[in-house]
Chain A
Amino acid sequence: MLEEAMLKSDKIKWLIGSAELIPAGDNVFGGAIAVLTIHHWKNIEKSFNELSRVLKKGSHVVIFTSTPQQMNGYWLNAYFPKMLKASITKMPSENILEAAANKAGFKLIKTEKYCIRKDLNDLFLYSGKHNPEIYFQPEVRNGISSFATLANQNEILAGLNGLRRDISTECFLNIKQQYENDFGDYLFIVFKRNAS
């Protein structure tokens, strides 16, 4: 992953580390972004403490994630219920993030929901929202942690069969309709490191 990042820019100094242990000094960064990663953090409180340590006072952290509520609202639940539940149970809610952030000296500044657009090409969990065909590609599923680590093979087969059966029928449209909601698919959460 680091090698791929290096190909994108050789001006940036890329470091490898974890949210709980960032290989950098104190008060050195002007901001932080965390995109689709917080569900992999092993200790949320420790991670925010670490962010607080490496960030300059007054700087921002932008977290991009999907909340349990948003995940519950995705039609993919109809086909892979066990897999999604396993993902959702361990997904940190906004409340948990805010509590950890507050303890570490951050304030919640704003949240903004994000809805998947038809031209999305990131190939993560929601990537097939408007283009379900891509879930049939094993290489796409392998890049989605829910499919790759939380699902059992029987459920994947059954879910894909069901999806294949429904996909071009009214049944699929009905299921999608049942899951329509205003929660958005992802959420931007912006925290600001307290000045003092």
Chain B
Amino acid sequence: MIIKKASFNQLQEIFEIFQQCKQALNNENVFQWTDNYPTLDIIFQDIANSHLYGLYQQDECIGAIVLNSIQSPQYNAILWKDTNGKVLTIHRLAIKPIYQNRGYAKKLMSFAEKYALRNQFTSIRLDTYSANKASVKLYEQRGYEKRGEVSFPERDLPFICFEKNFN
């Protein structure tokens, strides 16, 4: 199993992972991702900007994670600990539903943390939907600390902002 930058050739295959994950979450009444998110175009931008990494089992992409430094404006209202450092942000972590609960998300998170250290980032920021218990648990277990909550349009519940500091 390897983790590598996704190529354009896999655009629709990877987009399909997000569609499946959205459906699986909706089936559990977790409405984290809205009907119009993520779009094929968002995933295209992620791949085109080399921000999207895929977890591959042979040729099949079974999970994805987006690493960059793009922060939503809502993050400005959060009291982060790392205010002067180089901040990595994580977005759109997803594992194909049939491969979930096997520790693959941990593999991608551990890749992200190593990536952060290797590239001199001083902290990682991310957010997840408060109703998505599995992902909240994943980040807590990995030592991410809750810094506050933000709201995104069309979602009833808040998103929890997490930070992991390396200093």
* A interface residues with partner B (beta carbon < 8 Å): 41-46, 68, 81-82, 85-86, 88-93, 95-96, 99-100, 103
Contacts and interface: CB of A to CB of B under 8 A. Distances in A.
B41 A85 contact: no
26 contacts: A41-B12, A43-B12, A43-B13, A44-B11, A68-B39, A68-B41, A81-B35, A85-B34, A85-B35, A85-B36, A86-B35, A88-B39, A89-B19, A89-B35, A89-B36, A89-B37, A89-B39, A89-B40, A90-B15, A92-B40, A93-B41, A96-B40, A96-B41, A99-B8, A99-B44, A103-B8
Nearest to B44: A96
Which of B19, B34, B36, B38 has most A Cβ within 10 Å?
Answer: B36
Nearest to A43: B12
A92 B8 CA distance: 13
Contacts of B36: 85, 88-89
Contacts of B9: 43, 45-46
The 5 A-B residue pairs with the shortest CB-CB distance in the complex, in nearest-first order = A85-B35, A85-B36, A93-B41, A89-B39, A96-B44
Contacts of B40: 89-93, 96
Task: Give the bracket for the number of chain B residues in contact with chain A.
Answer: 10 to 19
Contacts of A42: 12
Given A89-B38, A89-B39, 6 more contacts: A43-B9, A46-B9, A86-B35, A90-B19, A93-B40, A99-B48
B8 A100 contact: yes
Interface in B24-43: 34-41
Interface of chain A, helix or strand or loop or mixed? helix
Contacts of A44: 11-12
Interface of B: 8-9, 11-13, 15, 19, 34-41, 44, 48
B58 to A, nearest CB: 17
Contacts of B8: 45, 99-100, 103
Contacts of B38: 89
Contacts of B13: 43
B7 to A, nearest CB: 8
A90 B39 CA distance: 6
Interface centre among B8, B19, B34, B38 (most CB of A within 10 A): B8
A68 B35 CA distance: 14
Nearest to A94: B41
A189 to B, nearest CB: 15
Nearest to A83: B35
A93 B15 CA distance: 14
A89 B117 CA distance: 34
Given A68-B41, A96-B44, A45 B35 contact: no
